[in-house]
Amino acid sequence: MTASTGALTDRRGRYNFSGGPGALPEEVLREAQQAIVEVPGTGLSVLGLGHRTAWFRDVVDETVHHLRCLLNLSDGYEVLLLQGGASLQFSMVPMALLRGREQPADYVLTGYWSAKALPEAQREGPVRALWDGSPAGYTRLPNDGELDCNPRAPYLHYVSNETVEGLQFHRVLGFEGVPRVCDMSSDFLSTPVDATRFALIYAHAQKNLGPAGVTVVVIRREVMDAAPADLPAMLDYRRHAHMGSIYNTPPVFAIYVTLLVMRWLRGQPGGLRGVAERNEAKAARLYGLLDASGGFYRPRAALADRSHMNVVFTLPSVELEREFLRRAEAAGFSGLEGHRTLGGVRASLYNAVTLDDVAALCAFMQEFQRSPEAR
Ligand code: PMP
């Protein structure tokens, strides 16, 4: 059955710079559109296919297989597809790794999302804010000399890319011996990562992986097995691992589209390294424009900590920002408004955003700066 793609083509006339849910590859959207009518070879809509079918088991297995390949994972790791978003991981992590422990877990406070994670951990046990960027308005990240990690901490938690402020660690934190737990929601699979250096990685799908509704957890088996025995089933990594991520009804559609994105990702030239190079080129293009704007567009993040995924900047006045966003929207550039807590502008350059999209945005921004309103 062939579905009309007319409406889809019309909608894709816009450039999607949304912070999340973010842009997905156009070919994936077309396949997803087709699957709503009929998944090839099944005669059924993806929205009506049972989660206990052999078809769905294969979908989960193939998705996990691609994730394992992209991360080069050994058997010592489980890959789980869970619900509850990254926010539930703020709680599941300390339930499994902190409950009943005496030494505090180390949390690095670098922005909006790490500040949300810390109080959830405090419900489960002692926590220490290893570094706090809030007095400086979360405009930079700590250097290694500022991180006095506790060698006896049950774990070190940090956020690799602060989506709201546009701050990204371009290195792995902490030292071996203390399990690292990392929220990679907004830069997972945007660049190669040595997963073996982490005890647990979590990332919701709605940036680089797929639609909202599924969260990937990569967890070292021995860490998983050391969790308290009496956790509620839905909050116990072991239970999900034991059931191959089909403990209860999972978000079948979201996982299916995630599989389509994983296939797309694995087909990208140069693999994940190639994807990372293109992401760096996109970010360099946009930051280059900001830096050359004579202070008209002002990047928020310190130079060394600039995110390749979320480029956050301000204009000389709130009125100009409003006008910028209004004209950008009218010109077809969507999702550019900064996070509601911060204001300003944020251009998110997830994997599916192309260099051509960024070039178009840059051309618009140069034109805006030259316009009479901007003077
Ligand atoms: N962590 C990070 C880095 C995020 O960007 C977000 C949301 N954008 C979250 C956590 C919260 O994710 P969720 O809405 O899936 O709970």
- For 315-354, write each residue's pLDDT tens digit: 999 999 999 999 999 999 999 999 999 999 999 999 999 9
pLDDT at residue 8 in the model: 39
Give me the amino acid identity at 4: S
Q: Is 312 in the pocket of ligand 1 (CB under 6 A)?
A: no
**CA 113 – ligand 1 centroid, Å:** 7
Give the 3-state secondary structure of residue 78.
strand
Residue 5, pLDDT above cutoff 60: no
Query: How much is the average pLDDT of 97-102?
Result: 97
Element holding 181 (H helix, E strand):
strand 180-183
Distance CA 264, CA 368 (A): 35
pLDDT at residue 25 in the model: 96
Q: Is 113 in the pocket of ligand 1 (CB under 6 A)?
A: yes
Query: How much is the average pLDDT of 3-15?
Result: 50
**CA 203 – ligand 1 centroid, Å:** 8
Contact criterion met (CB below 8 Å) for 155 and 173: no
Distance CA 315, CA 298 (A): 6
pLDDT at residue 13 in the model: 65
Q: Is 169 in the pocket of ligand 1 (CB under 6 A)?
A: no
pLDDT at residue 2 in the model: 35
Active site residues: 113, 183, 207
Q: Report residue 130's pLDDT band, with 50, 70 and 90 as the boundaries.
A: very high
Contact criterion met (CB below 8 Å) for 110 and 136: no
Q: Report residue 373's pLDDT band, with 50, 70 and 90 as the boundaries.
A: confident
Q: Which two tokens stand for residue 310?
A: 């979320």
Q: What's the mean per-residue pLDDT of the chain?
A: 95
pLDDT at residue 92 in the model: 98
Q: Give the model confidence (pLDDT) of 28-73 as tens digits.
A: 999 999 999 999 999 999 999 999 999 999 999 999 999 999 999 9
- pTM over 0.85? The answer is yes
Give me the amino acid identity at 171: R
Residue 241, pLDDT above cutoff 50: yes
Give the 3-state secondary structure of residue 183.
strand
Helix extents (H) in the chain: 6-11, 26-37, 54-71, 85-97, 112-122, 221-225, 237-242, 252-266, 271-291, 318-330, 355-370
Residue with tokens 């889809």: 8
Q: Is 160 in the pocket of ligand 1 (CB under 6 A)?
A: no
In ligand 1, which atom is closest to the CA atom of 84? 16
Query: How much is the average pLDDT of 266-283?
Result: 98
**CA 204 – ligand 1 centroid, Å:** 7
Closest CA to 305 of 191, 171, 194: 171
Q: Is 20 in the pocket of ligand 1 (CB under 6 A)?
A: yes
Hey, which residues does 219 pair with through a beta bridge? 78, 200
Q: Report residue 11's pLDDT band, with 50, 70 and 90 as the boundaries.
A: very low
Residues across the chain: 375
Which of 118, 162, 186 to mutate to test ligand 1, by most ligand atoms within 8 A of the CB atom?
A: 186
Contacts 24+ apart (CB under 8 A), 209-213: 209/258, 209/261, 209/262, 210/24, 210/254, 210/255, 210/257, 210/258, 210/260, 210/261, 211/21, 211/24, 211/253, 211/254, 211/257, 211/258, 212/20, 212/21, 212/85, 212/254, 213/83, 213/251, 213/253, 213/254
Give the 3-state secondary structure of residue 251.
coil
Q: Give the model confidence (pLDDT) of 283-304 as tens digits.
A: 999 999 999 999 999 999 999 9
Q: Report residue 250's pLDDT band, with 50, 70 and 90 as the boundaries.
A: very high
Residue 3, pLDDT above cutoff 80: no
